[in-house]
Amino acid sequence: MKQKKNIQKVMVIHGPNLNMLGKREPDIYGKETLEEINSRLEKLGKKLGIDVDTFQSNYEGAIVEKIHETSGKYKGLIINPAAYTHTSIAIRDALLLLDIPVIEVHLSNIYKREPFRHKSMTADIVTAQIAGFGVQGYIMALEAIAKM
């Protein structure tokens, strides 16, 4: 009898306004939609033997609850907190509950933008941060978690 391959799961959380990708400031965030990004991640996940679940919310509490739900169910978390990167202690505290790799992703290089975007409330507690590579940052994050 063949043994089933143990499929790992990775959660990808997209923060506020990312549902507007492709329409909102495409010169900064690119022209790909969130659906296209999620599709790319799911396809790559299949190649890597990883089930990719995605979630997007404009609401901080919903993001916190989704982080709570990842505990014990996922091999890793990729999160783009978007504007909450710079303001949310609640998201930071939720991430501290996890004992899995967490990679913070930003489409733009937050350190080359307005000064208020230079401070990430989560950068010092996540496993890694990827910023400025556009959609490729999500790909890099998923590939990194697959190797962890």
Q: Domains for the chain: give ranges and CATH numbers.
A: 8-147 (3.40.50.9100)
Candidates 87, 148, 98; CA nearest to 125 is: 98
pLDDT for the residue 1: 41
Candidates 88, 86, 41, 93; CA nearest to 67 is: 93
- Name residue 8's amino acid: Q
Beta bridge partners of 106: 131
Give the DSSP H or E segment for 131: strand 128-131
Q: Does the annotation mark 138 as catalytic?
A: no
Candidates 68, 89, 90; CA nearest to 77 is: 68
Parts of the chain with a pLDDT under 70 = 1-7, 114, 116-118
pLDDT for the residue 28: 74
Give the DSSP H or E segment for 28: helix 26-29
Catalytic residue among 14, 29, 74, 84: 29
Q: Does the annotation mark 68 as catalytic?
A: no
pLDDT for the residue 116: 64
pLDDT for the residue 4: 43
Catalytic residue among 14, 84, 106, 138: 106
Rg over CA atoms, the chain: 15
